[in-house]
Amino acid sequence: MEIFGVDIGGSGIKGAPVDLDRGDLAAERFKVLTPQPATPDAVADGVRDVVDHFGWKGPVGITYPGVVTGGGTVRTAANVDKSWIGVDARALLADRLGGLPVVVLNDADAAGVAETRFGAGRDRAGTVFLLTFGTGIGSALFVDGTLVPNTELGHLELHGHEAEKHASTKAKEDHDLSWEHWAHRVQKYLAHVEMLFSPELFIIGGGVSRKSHKFLPLIEGIRAEIVPAQLENNAGIVGAAMRAAELHPS
């Protein structure tokens, strides 16, 4: 069974049809740059471009980099334009896609759902966090495999600043940090989350997960197991498609 997934990020909008039996992309993903400013209309156009690239005509799961409640209403907009707040993203995107069935969910939650089903979190009991490092820091919390949605723990305060301003991949790039220096910042962030939640497992996702060998061995003093996401930066696409399949079964 194939369903389409789209992952809206602070720097790119990417998508592909997903083979839900394998938990992997059924075709090479297509990506466009996130428009600046990332207003609802401009981002919706980008999503349409990604979906139209494949000529897709079925249900579409779409991630959003912030809190999404109810049937798809946006509550926060940390890494996109503030005009997103209060928008019914599901209605907007369904309209832009010509009335296709659409599901919208938090981006890290989508990635976590995919990793829990097909990746590093599969069959893991207890408290598990999927953390995505990119333009910001996304978080997905699972307790015995059940998602606690919209945690958004990248916005925890760390040393007087939002954690994602200090330890995201964007912060590494903006400040030209070495892997050692950045790993130290990530370690402090993980220690803070561990102090609050005492998880058994941290799964590190986002684009930087492809380079986990460069920084994970440098992180010390964390009691929880720390592993890279197995689906790497495709996890959000896969998780979005999974949620669309659940709510719009064929």
- Measured over all CA atoms, what is the biggest interatomic distance in the chain, rounded to whole angstroms? 51
Residues 6 or more apart whose CB falls under 8 angstroms from that of 98 comprise none
10 Å CB burial of residue 57 (0-12, 13-18, 19+) is exposed
> For 3-36, how does the pLDDT look when each residue is reduced to its tens digit (9 = 90+)?
999 999 989 999 999 999 999 999 999 999 999 9
Residue 247 lies in a domain: no
Residue 78 shares a structural domain with residue 164: no
> For 144-192, how does the pLDDT look when each residue is reduced to its tens digit (9 = 90+)?
999 999 999 999 998 898 999 999 999 999 999 999 999 999 999 999 9
Residue 114 shares a structural domain with residue 228: yes
Percent of the chain whose pLDDT exceeds 70: 100
Q: Residue 89 and residue 74: Cα distance in Å, rounded? A: 7
Angle at 174 between CA 172 and CA 175, to 5 degrees: 70
> For 88-98, how does the pLDDT look when each residue is reduced to its tens digit (9 = 90+)?
999 999 999 99
Picking from 72, 107, 142, the residue at the C-terminal end of a domain is 107
How high is the pLDDT of residue 250?
62
Average pLDDT score over residue span 50-68: 97
How high is the pLDDT of residue 207?
87
Question: Half-sphere exposure (CA, 13 Å, Cβ side) for 108?
Answer: 30
Q: Residue 175 and residue 182: Cα distance in Å, rounded? A: 10
Q: What is the CATH number of the domain that holds 162?
A: 3.30.420.40
Residue 186 shares a structural domain with residue 137: yes
10 Å CB burial of residue 194 (0-12, 13-18, 19+) is middle
State yes or no: pLDDT of 218 exceeds 70: yes
Residue 115 shares a structural domain with residue 99: no
State yes or no: pLDDT of 248 exceeds 90: no
User: Shortest CA distance to 113 belongs to which of 244, 248, 236, 234?
Assistant: 236
Residue 142 shares a structural domain with residue 49: no
Residue 84 shares a structural domain with residue 45: yes
How high is the pLDDT of residue 71?
86
Picking from 55, 73, 107, the residue at the C-terminal end of a domain is 107
Residue 70 shares a structural domain with residue 7: yes
Copy the structure tokens of residue 69.
């409640």
Find the domain containing 135 and state its range.
110-233
Average pLDDT score over residue span 72-80: 95
How high is the pLDDT of residue 70?
85
Residue 36 shares a structural domain with residue 150: no
> For 102-123, how does the pLDDT look when each residue is reduced to its tens digit (9 = 90+)?
999 999 999 999 999 999 999 9
Residue 170 lies in a domain: yes
Residue 91 lies in a domain: yes
The Cβ of residue 212 has, within 10 Å, a number of other Cβ atoms equal to 16
Mean pLDDT of the chain: 96
- Eight-state DSSP code of residue 123: T
Q: How many domains does the chain contain in total?
A: 2
Residue 134 shares a structural domain with residue 228: yes
How high is the pLDDT of residue 249?
76
Q: Residue 132 and residue 120: Cα distance in Å, rounded? A: 13
